[in-house]
Amino acid sequence: MGKVKPSKVSQLKPKKKCCRKKTRCVKCPVVIMRMRKLENNGASKKELKVGLKMARAA
């Protein structure tokens, strides 16, 4: 899939089921849900970048 911009993650189509690995994939439903929340709250580009790291590490 390559690199994805943090601002585009919330627009991706999530996978059916969460993989629950240590570092979640970008298309994981949990990651996409958390990124949508950040975008709806009006996060800046820098906040989205940090938010993506936190969402994938969870």
Measured between alpha carbons, how far is residue 56 from residues 18, 28 in Å?
12, 9
The angle that helices 45-57 and 29-40 make with each other, rounded to 10 degrees, is 150
pTM (two decimals): 0.85
Domain extents for the chain?
A: 21-58
- Residues 14-58 pLDDT 10s: 999 888 888 999 999 999 999 999 999 998 999 999 999 999 997
Quote the CA–CA distance of 2 and 47 in Å, as a whole number: 21
pLDDT of residue 41: 92
Task: Kindly tell me if the per-residue pLDDT of 4 is higher than 90.
Answer: no
- For residues 46 and 17, the answer to whether their CB atoms sit within 8 Å is no
pLDDT of residue 54: 92
